[in-house]
Chains A and B, each alone.
Chain A
């Protein structure tokens, strides 16, 4: 992963600071889409068979593989529920978000 991947919003003080050609200078990681969520996936790892299916299908690249286990990245997970639907073990529960 390249080093431009910082969760920082880029702003310009004046026009002079803007690049000559419009080009992306930073990632979208500043945009914490976890705030969109109404329901959240919770994995019961005791039943997980490490099939990797939840990771493979996440449209938001918000399931990481940490120490060889799937781990939801709640900062960005939008709560679509696709992982829970596709999990062959049905060990991902979609639970109401407390807000």
Chain B
């Protein structure tokens, strides 16, 4: 029909991630990498610790990424990136962006001290946590990023997770970083913009990316973007930035937040929850949303 109409292109056309990679069908983490690299561009080197992405990329000597990758130990995403940065500085390369790309286990749990160290030194790296809310690569074990109420193989239905998700943004904000942002695969323009912005800032930048995982969340692969969008629309995962440790900006003002039940019911990992438990989760989400609004001066 619209022969004359031009294709609407709202994010860069260049691809730095090729097809043929090993992620599951509908993997949010793979979409996250595709979008992040559109923002960061070719002059990027990435450090990837043990996580799904260490597998997704492909086996040696192959890689689905068009940028150099340094595979490092589980707890060392940040320290490896700091080291790569120091090496580049020594050869006078100030142009290349060093990206640390870790899962939530590698960030909230085992990699936290390395990340805190790099942040305290304000090392010149872009640290990204793609958050699929559990240890997916090893078979869906709970992490401290797993939300309250969720099933995982180590928090079975009878003993579903009772602890709330660790406030990683609060921890990183306390380090007074030059740039912190949340991003979502359901909002590619916002996400690409944030990575592009992070590229131009010096010091430690921290980006928390929400990346649904059909295999671990027991959701339909086609619902990945829908779930990421609902996470934002319910206020479960708000999109915001923190500059210089203090200036909070809400990027997407959700006027009427959707009930959290809409988000939960699309995922098998929450299927066991009863109404009163969902009400408690709703209260958690409301409280955190209010806190973020307040921080943003709204």
Contacts and interface: CB of A to CB of B under 8 A. Distances in A.
A80 B221 contact: yes
Interface of B: 1-2, 5-11, 13-15, 17-23, 25-28, 30-31, 34, 57-58, 60-64, 66, 68-69, 185, 188, 220-226
Interface residues of A, number: 51
A56 interface: yes
Contacts of A78: 25
B20 A32 contact: yes
Interface of A: 1-2, 4-5, 7, 9-10, 19, 22-33, 36, 46-52, 55-62, 65, 68-70, 73, 75-76, 78-82, 84-86
A31 B64 CA distance: 10
A49 B66 CA distance: 31
Contacts of B220: 81
B19 A86 contact: no
Nearest to B19: A76
A88 to B, nearest CB: 11
B19 A82 contact: no
Q: Of residues A28, A30, A49, which shows the largest number of chain B Cβ atoms within 10 Å of its Cβ?
A: A28
Contacts of B11: 56
A59 B26 contact: yes
Given A56-B11, A59-B34, A61-B15, A85 B226 contact: yes
Contacts of B222: 80-82, 84-85
Contacts of A82: 26, 221-222, 224-225
A15 to B, nearest CB: 13
Given A59-B28, A82-B222, A10 B9 contact: no
Nearest to B27: A59
19 contacts: A1-B66, A5-B66, A9-B62, A27-B63, A28-B18, A28-B21, A31-B20, A31-B22, A50-B7, A56-B10, A58-B31, A60-B21, A61-B17, A65-B7, A69-B7, A73-B19, A82-B26, A85-B225, A86-B225
A21 to B, nearest CB: 11
Nearest to B8: A52
